[in-house]
A and B are shown apart, each in its own frame.
Chain A
Amino acid sequence: MKILTGNDLKTGAVTWWDGVQWSLHVEDAVDVGDHAETILARETAARRVNAGYAIDAVKDEGGVRPGHIKERIRALGPTVRIDLTLKPADPEAGTWVI
C-alpha cells in the first residue's frame, strides 16, 4: 500500500494521512493508491502538512507497518528514548522498528 506522511508545519510532529486529516498515529494511515500527488498538493497548499511524501507500507493484523526502518522510527519515535515515543508505557516498543 501507499501511505502519506509529512510533518505538522507548526510543531514539526510526524503525521500520517488518514483519509480525512493528518493523524499522529501510523495505524490510522490509509492506502492512497494513485492519488498521492493530488492529496499532497492540496494539503501542502493549505499548510495542513509540511514536506509531505508517499511511502510504501504493508497492512496486516499488527496494523500499518512502513516498509523502511527510517519510517518506522518516524512512526514510533527514538528507540533510545521510549519515554518520548508514542508508546511510552511499552518498554518493548522499540522492537517494532527492527
Chain B
Amino acid sequence: MYKYDSYDQAMVDTRVEEFRDQVKRRLEGHITEDQFKPLRLMNGLYLQLHAYMLRVAVPYGTLSSAQMRMLGDIADKYDRGYGHFTTRQNIQYNWIKLEEAPDILADLAKVEMHAIQTSGNCIRNTTSDQYAGAAADEVIDPRPYAELIRQWSTFHPEFSFLPRKFKMAVIASDTDRAAMRLHDIGIQLVRNEMGEIGAAFYVGGGMGRTPMIAPLINPFVPIDQMITYSEACLRVYNRYGRRDNKYKARIKILVHELGKEDYTAQVEAEFLHLLSQNIEPPLDELSRIKAQFVDPPFDAAAPDTIDRSDPDFALWNDTNCLPHKKPGYIAVTISLKPVGGIPGDASADQMRLMADLAREYSFDECRVTHAQNIVLPHVRKADLYTLWQQLDTAGLGTANLDRIGDIIACPGLDYCSLANARSIPVAQKISERLSDKSAAIGELKLKISGCINACGHHHAGHIGILGVDRKGVENYQLLLGGCEGADTSLGQITGPGFDEDGIVDAVEKTTEVYLAARQDGERFLDTYRRVGMAPFKEALYG
C-alpha cells in the first residue's frame, strides 16, 4: 500500500488546521454560511437531511487495517456507531457535529486519510478494481497508476473549479469491475503487441440525468504519458465545458455535443502542446510509488485446496470468492448486504472486526467496492473456513455477491437532501422477498437510486429502480438491461412507475419472466438481451 511521505502528511495536516480555523470563524460568526459552505464542502462536509454528513475519501478503495479500524473508531466517537460505504468506494458518516469535524479530520490524518475533494467541482476520488493486485486477469496492478492520478489531481490549481465534478476510474483487465465506462474518464491499462503497457482512454461517460457510455478516444497512450494525456482531456473540458447550466456541465455533454471526433482532435492537439511542456511526473516518482505496491510475501507452499464439507461455507465459497493470481490464495468479498439489511452500512464493531481480519488473514489490507461491499484481497485458502466462521458470527457471512440480494442502494430520502424517494426500504423489501430464490435466479445486479443523480447506479443495473416524486408521493420507475461491465449498456424504462409495494411485486414478476424464459446457462441479462423488453412489459402491465 502507498505510504504518505512527509510532503503528503504535511499537506493533510495543514489542511486540518486550516479547516479548524474556518470552523472556528463560522461558529464565532466571522463568516456567513454562504461564505463557509464552499469551504466545508472542500473538506467533504455536507449538510444533509438530519445533520452534517462527512464523506471520507478511500483512494481507489484501498484501506489498511489501521485505517479501517480508525473508520470504526470514528463511527463510535463522533457518529452513532455506524458508517455507510458508498458507490464511489468512499465512506460517509451521517450524524456529524460541525464543532467536532476538525477533530475527525485530525484523527483521519493520523492514519493517512482525509476528506479532501470528496465534494465540489474538482477531480474526485479515483476508483479502481477492488481485486487490483490479486486478480488473475489483470495485465498489471492498476493501483500505482491510480495513486499517481491521486497525487496529480490533488489540489491541482487548474482543475479546482471545473464546470462540474469529475470522476476517474482505472482498471487493468478486460473484465470491468469498476464501471469504468460510466466515468468522466475511464482508463484501462493494456498491453500492446510489443508487450508495452499503455492506457486506453474512454472519455465522456456518466450516469445522472443524462446517462452516457464513454467512447474510446485513444486505444493506447504510452504509460509514461498517461498524466499528460489526462491533463489534455481535462484542459479541453475546462475550456469548453458549459458553466451556464449545471445540468449540461459534465464532460459527457461536451463530448456528445462536440462529437467524439472533434473532442478527440482537440485533446490530441492539446496533448502535443503539453508534451512540449514536459509536465509528466518523473519516472522516478512512479517507480517510488510502484515500490509500495509490490506483492505481499505470499507463501509459495500454501495449500491450494479448501475443505468444503460445511455446506453453508461451500455456498459462500462459491458465491463470494474470486480466484487469485497466486496458488493457495483467494480473494474474498464480505457482503454488507444481509437479508433485509441496509446496503453498505457497517457498524463500528463490524469495521473493527474487518480490520482485525484484514490484518490476520489478508496482509493488513482490505478494499471497498463500488458495489458497497468489502474485499479481503489475499486470503490463504487454508484460512478460508476459519475466516468465514468469524464473518458469519458477526453477520458478515451472507453468500450473495452479484445476486439479487446484493443490491446497490443510495442513501435515498432517508438521509439525502437531494433525494426524491427512499431507496433503502425498497432494497430491504426486495431482499426479504427474493433472497430465498437467490440461488435459482443466479447473477442479477439490482441497483436503486432515490433520484435522477443516480448515485445508486440504476442505469447500470440488470434491474434498475429510480425513485421519483410524483406530486409529493414516492414513485418508482423500473429499468431493465443495464450493465456496468465490459459490455456496458444502459437500462431501459419498462413503463409507468409503481408505488413502494408495487415495485417489489414488479421486481418479483420480472424475475419470474426470466426464470420461465431463460435457456441453459443464461444470466438474467443474457435472457433480457435475447428476448427483449416485450415479455417483461406484458407481465408487468398486461
Q: List residues of chain A with CB under 8 Å of any chain B CB.
A: 7, 9-14, 44, 47, 50-51, 67-70, 73-74, 77-81, 84
Contact = CB atoms under 8 A, between A and B. Distances in A.
Interface of B: 26-27, 29, 33, 47, 49-52, 80, 94-99, 342, 413-415, 417, 419, 422, 424-425, 428, 472-474
B397 to A, nearest CB: 22
Nearest to B33: A50
Given A10-B98, A69-B474, A84-B80, A51 B33 contact: yes
B23 to A, nearest CB: 10
Nearest to B32: A44
A97 B429 CA distance: 18
A44 B36 CA distance: 14
B50 A74 contact: yes
Contact of B51 (A11, A67, A69, A79): A11
Given A10-B99, A11-B51, A79-B414, 9 more contacts: A7-B47, A11-B98, A11-B99, A12-B98, A44-B33, A78-B415, A79-B425, A80-B425, A80-B428
Contact of B96 (A12, A51, A73, A84): A12
Given A11-B98, A13-B51, A14-B50, A80 B472 contact: no
B20 to A, nearest CB: 15
Contacts of B422: 73, 79-80
Nearest to B415: A78
A47 B52 CA distance: 16
Contacts of B26: 9
Dominant SS at the B interface? mixed
A69 B342 CA distance: 20
B313 to A, nearest CB: 30
B472 A67 contact: yes
Contact of A68 (B95, B96, B342, B472): B472
A77 B50 contact: yes
B49 A73 contact: yes
Contacts of B98: 9-12
A47 B47 contact: no
Contacts of A11: 51, 97-99
A34 to B, nearest CB: 24
| A-B residue pairs, 3 tightest by C-beta | A12-B51, A12-B52, A78-B414
Contacts of B342: 80-81
Of B49, B95, B417, B472, the most chain A CB neighbours within 10 A belong to B49
B41 to A, nearest CB: 13
A10 B27 contact: yes
Contacts of A14: 49-51
Of B80, B413, B428, the most chain A CB neighbours within 10 A belong to B413
Contacts of A47: 27, 29
A80 B414 contact: yes
Contacts of A68: 472
Contacts of B49: 14, 70, 73-74
